[in-house]
Every structure is written in structure tokens, then in C-alpha cells.
Amino acid sequence: MLTDKKIVITGGTGSLGKVLLRRLLSGEMGKPKKIVVFSRDEAKQHELRVDYQHRKVVTDEVIYNNFEQLLEFQIGDVRDYSAVCGVLKGADVVFNAAALKQVPACEYFPFEAVRTNVEGPNNIVRAIRDLDLKVQTVIGISTDKAAKPVNVMGMTKALQERVFLRANIDCPDTRFIVVRYGNVLASRGSVIPLFHEQINNGGPLTITSEEMTRFLLSLDDAVDLIFAAMKNASRGETYIPRVPTANIKDLALELIGERDIDVKVTGIRPGEKLHEILISEEEVLRTVERGNHYVILPILPEIVGESRPDDKRTLSEEYSSEHGILNRDDVRNLLKERQLMIGDAIKLEGEFLR
């Protein structure tokens, strides 16, 4: 599907961007002509570039002898319209993974979140529209916090979704679609690396509320969702994974195990929800089940999609992390399956590429 395509990953040095890059290089979606990693952090780009230059084998199956021709790094910011215009020249597919995603940081610096999470996507749309670029598909990476948002991060991501949805009208030759998912296990800045650090330091392990629940999926699960949308989504659709949910206290206790470590409740942080929502009650009315995913059909009448013959309407209430919570045994099994227990062989940050 992506054979001979030029691909741009904005925010390509982030946790998701690196796993997306590794999966694209594996060839499972075809062999691209060029993959451009576009981000503003030169140190992360240098680290990633050196890592790939020194690695002859990227996966067990694929050996790359033409690294310089396949993988390219460009320093730039999605906030900068001219930089976006430059990197999108000749692009066929764009994965927009650039984001400000830390909830408290976005609360304290809301306009910075607007610039990255809203102005950045709008720059992508403007470049395609104004320069008549022949981009085939743009995939926006969103979050459960965009459903019924109560924090700046969610509000700006919800606006990103609408910017890309509207773009299907302005750029009729480009397919703009969105994926929306919840907490990613072990991604940079997420709760599991924090819990590991606190446990290794002897505690206490801090949680904000004993009642808090979250959707849980791995970085590879997130990329699976992106690829499913890439293969199957129609213009203006939003793809949602069907994933387990867990109580954060249960997650903490399973990571502690038999260790003598206290759990301290610190109180909900600015902008934080007790439970996350992937599909709101309003969106349920235009949500269908397609294969292993939920799909939210577009809201604008100009691009309203039609249900396909195999689509099913199965949701009767909002899709919330408050429902279907895993028990302690299932949480333990999930952590073991993902190799996220303390003492497992993986190193959370260092193994994202492997």
C-alpha cells in the first residue's frame, strides 16, 4: 500500500513516531520510496539517525543497505508554515504525530498547545490547499481526551480533528482521516515509566485518585490502529480501538507486587479526568463497528459517510474507561504480556525501536 510512496512523519522522534518508523521500515505496508522524520528537536533526531546508521538489521527479517536513500531527517516545526510547505513537497502520505500532550503543561501554557495541536495541523492543510500538493492521505493522531474535553490538551486535539475533517472539503483530492486512542503503555511521560522509577527508588508510588481508570494499549497497538485506518478509512472518518481498561491503583499495586512500597494519593492534577472517554454519547449516534474497531462517521453533511454492508451499530452508551474494567488478575496478565513488570528484560525507552 505504501510502496514507492514518500512518507512524512511530523513529530517523528516521539515515542509513537519511533515505533511508527520501525513498523514502516519493516515493509508490512509495502516498501516506501522515502520516509522523512520531521521534528524540531535536533538532539533526538541525531540520536535516532545515529541509531539507524549503526544498525545493519532493523528487524529480524529486513536488512537495509540503502539507509541514506530511504530515511531522511528534517529539522522543522509544524508551527512554521514555510517549513511545513517545504517538507510536504512531493509527499504522498503524512502522519501528524507532532503534539504537546502533557495535560498539566498544556493547562499552564494553553496557547503553546494551540500553536502545536491546532495551528500545526492547519498549516498542513494550508500547504496542501494553497500549493495544490498531491498528498494522497493525511492521518491525524488524536486522543481520548478529545472526546468531551475538559482540559486544554483535549480541547486542542478536538480542534485538530475538526480541522482535518473540514479539510476534506477544501482539499478534495486528499483523504484526511483521524485515529483516536487512550493511554499508551510505557510511552515517554506516561504512568508506567513513572511508577517504575518510583519503585526503583523505594517509593512512595504516587497516584492522583484511587478511582481513576484509563484505556490501555501498547505503542504497537496504536500503530496497528493507524495502519487499519490507512487501509480502510473513508474521508473524514475517525478510527477508535477496542481496548481494555484498568483502575490505575490496580495497575500500581500489580507493579509493586510483594515489595514493601507505599501508595500515596496526591489528588487530581489540573485538567485531569477520573475516567476517559473514547466515544461520547453524541458520537455514538454516528458510530459503527467495523471489524475490530469502532468508526465515527463524519459530522459535516458535505462529507457524511455511509455505513458499509458489514458495519454494525452496537454502542448504546458512550465508550468510557469506567466500563469493563479489568480485574487484578487480568491487569497482571496484561503487564506480563507486554513485558512491563519490574525486572523484565526490556528497557522502556531504549527498546522502542527494536
Enzyme catalytic residues: 145
Residue 154: which residues within 8 A CB-CB, separation 6 or more? Answer: 143, 145, 146, 147, 271
d(CA 3, CA 21): 15
Residue 347: which residues within 8 A CB-CB, separation 6 or more? Answer: none
Count the neighbouring beta carbons within 10 Å of the beta carbon of residue 344: 12
Greatest CA span in the chain, whole angstroms? 62
Q: Which helix (H) or strand (E) element contains residue 192?
A: helix 191-200
The string of DSSP codes covering 6-37 is EEEEETTTSHHHHHHHHHHHTTBTB--SEEEE
Phi, psi torsion values for 32, nearest 5 degrees: -65, 155
Strands 287-290, 293-296: pairing is: antiparallel
Q: Which residues pair with 93 in a beta bridge?
A: 7, 137
